Amino acid sequence: MSNYRPLSRIRVLDMSRILAGPWAAQSFADLGAEVIKIERPGTGDDTRSWGPPFISGHEGAQDEAAYFMSANRGKKSLALDISNPKGQNILKKLVFHSDILIENYKVGGLAKYGLAYEDLKKVNPGIVYCSITGFGQTGPLSSRSGYDFLVQAMGGLMSVTGEADGRPGAGPQKIGVALTDILTGLYTQIAALAALADRERTGEGCHIDMALLDVTAACMANQAMNYLVTGKAPNRMGNSHPNIVPYEAFATSDDFVIIAVGNDGQFEKFCEVAARPDLPRDPKYKTNSARVENRDELIPIIQGFLKERSAQEWISSLEEVGVPCGPINNVEQVFDNEQIKHRGLKMNVNHPTVGEIPQVASPIHFSGKKLDYSLAPPPLGFHTDELLLNLADIDEKELKSLYDEKIVG
């Protein structure tokens, strides 16, 4: 099975830091694009120092943060001072040879360096320029900084995440990973690919304006529509589902188990396994709509009989009849899961200063083809010489001068 690089003709300049932009750029790299990560000389992406944990490299090499390693696979690192006019000119040379630029500076942050979209489209009219901010390029909040945690709160996500008021541990909770950043990264990639498709027709690029707040609100999905239809804002419900019953975590005799009954037929099978065939015959529980209306009566009944057996007993019995259920795994158990192993989610790549390191593979699978993961997350400035000599029309003498002036690193 040969390595598959469907976006090998695409070059991406990644001028972003932290997670949303780097995630979008890594997704491009996984699909074969050449991704050049532009970083500050000396320090690089903020997440290079976000640890522990760190992976120690060869003697004299910088330790690499696991956080940075999670979002920068497949890229080439160029350490470049864009605050210097010479650095700005180098970036413009790279833009001329590129298809996509991803940045997450504050609104107007790159304009002061002459690197805004209006500046760079003069260099390359076909450039697809992706700006990622907390609140967008326009509007009353556009000048504010935005981080995932803040936007999870402002975008409504935390209002529906956590135990219900009045229950032990009640209160708003953020999701355990920066999901708003990750979703924004994925939407950015989708938008950029759409812009590339349109460029084939028009020959022109465009400026893509992505906001974490917009993405969070859009991804509220059924919760957003529940509000828009009823005028009533949804509340935190713990692990319960606002539109389906039973669909939550239940305690068994020894552990918790997820029961995810998605239709009336599954509810009947669930009740047969539980030796409670009377429940689906009761008009209060016969249909999902009725079960949602009467959840306060039904859930305690279900919780009562689930405690009579172990989690594994319930999972084994319910799987036999096709009722969706499963354990609540920690991350160690996830990567020990036979299905995860079969799908190849954990893999290793060779890092030039650290050696072999673990990575989480892309979840994208193409039939009969394997994605190319030949480049590890790069050490800071590791590809500076290669990129400037090959793409920026710079010779060895000028390169040495740039190093001496600390414009590159």
Q: Which residues carry out catalysis?
A: 181
Give the residue among 133, 221, 236 at the shortest CA–CA distance from 181: 133
| Separation between Cα atoms, residue 227 and residue 221, nearest integer Å | 10
Token pair in block for residue 334: 């996830």
Contact 96, 123 (CB under 8 A): yes
Q: With residue 376 as reference, give the H or E element that holds it.
A: none
Q: Tell me 160's DSSP state.
A: G
The beta-strand segments (E) located in 64-139 are 64-65, 75-79, 100-103, 128-133
Contact 50, 18 (CB under 8 A): no
Contact 381, 53 (CB under 8 A): no
| Separation between Cα atoms, residue 369 and residue 391, nearest integer Å | 30
Question: Using alpha carbons only, what angle is made at residue 359 by residues 353 and 363, rounded to the nearest 5 degrees?
Answer: 150
The amino acid that residue 64 corresponds to is E
Give the residue among 148, 22, 78 at the shortest CA–CA distance from 391: 78
Cis peptide before 352 (omega within 30 of 0): no
Give the residue among 208, 214, 179 at the shortest CA–CA distance from 19: 179
List CB contacts of 310: < 8 A, sequence separation 6 or more.
252, 253, 254, 255
